[in-house]
Chains A and B, each alone.
Chain A
Amino acid sequence: MSSKIKFISIFCFFIFCFFIFFLSLKDSKKYTPKALINKKIINFEMKQLESNEIITENDIFEINKITLLNIWSSWCLPCRDEHKYLTELKMNNKLNMVGINYKDKKKNAQNFLNEFGNPYKLILVDEDGKNSINFGAYGVPETFIYNSEKKLIKKIIGPIDLKSFNEIKNILK
Chain B
Amino acid sequence: MKKILILIIIIYPTISFSVDNNKINKITKNLRCLICQGQSIYDSQSEFANSLKKVVEDKINENMTEKQIYKFLTDKYGEWILYEPEFNKNTYFLWLFPLAIFIFGGILIFKKKT
Question: Is A153 located at the chain interface by the 8 A CB criterion?
Answer: no
B54 at the interface (CB under 8 A from A): yes
A168 at the interface (CB under 8 A from B): no
Q: How many residues of B contact A (CB 8 A)?
A: 19
Known: A103-B47, A129-B47, A138-B35. A31 touches B81 (CB 8 A): yes
With a CB–CB cut-off of 8 A, which chain A residues contact B78? 31-32, 34-35
B48 at the interface (CB under 8 A from A): yes
Min CB distance A164 to B, Å, is 19
Between A and B, how many residue pairs show CB distances below 8 Å?
Answer: 50
* Chain A residue with the shortest CB-CB distance to B46: A139
- Assuming the contacts A128-B51, A129-B51, A139-B48, asked whether A31 and B77 have C-beta atoms less than 8 A apart, the reply is yes
B58 touches A130 (CB 8 A): yes
A29 engages B76 (CB within 8 Å): no
Instruction: Determine if B52 is an interface residue (Cβ-Cβ < 8 Å).
Output: yes
Chain B residues with a Cβ under 8 A of chain A: 34-35, 37, 46-48, 50-52, 54-55, 58, 74-78, 80-81
Return the 6 tightest CB-CB contacts between A and B, nearest first: A129-B51, A136-B76, A31-B78, A35-B78, A133-B55, A31-B80
